[in-house]
């Protein structure tokens, strides 16, 4: 991807204050996500760890009114 290019990704978020290994109920959709089974949930820090040695920056968009409560990130190529 060219510098300045953007890649958008949605994910089920669990906050850093939640117990990551527990199943998590998302409102209002009622979707239940898991640490070890589909559908999975992640923390923002998981994605930051994934790009730590790469030429990408991550920005959190967050809530965008997805019906299943997925959040959005944008990755920008340096």
Give me the pLDDT at residue 19, please. Answer: 81
Q: Give the global pTM.
A: 0.90
Give me the pLDDT at residue 31, please. Answer: 96
Each residue's pLDDT tens digit in the chain (78 positions)? 999 999 999 999 998 888 889 999 998 899 999 999 999 999 999 999 999 999 999 999 999 999 999 999 999 999
3-state secondary structure of 37: coil
In this structure, the strands spanning 32-33 and 24-25 are antiparallel
Beta-bridge partners for 72: 10, 62
- In this structure, what token pair is assigned to residue 67? 């019906």
CA-based max dimension of the chain? 39
């Amino acid at each position: 991807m060219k510098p300045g290019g953007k890649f958008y990704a949605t994910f089920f978020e669990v906050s850093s204050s939640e117990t990551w290994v527990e199943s998590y109920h998302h409102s209002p959709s009622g979707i239940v996500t898991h640490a070890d089974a589909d559908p999975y949930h992640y923390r923002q820090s998981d994605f930051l760890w994934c790009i730590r040695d790469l030429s990408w920056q991550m920005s959190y968009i967050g809530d965008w009114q997805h019906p299943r409560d997925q959040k959005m990130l944008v990755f920008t190529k340096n």
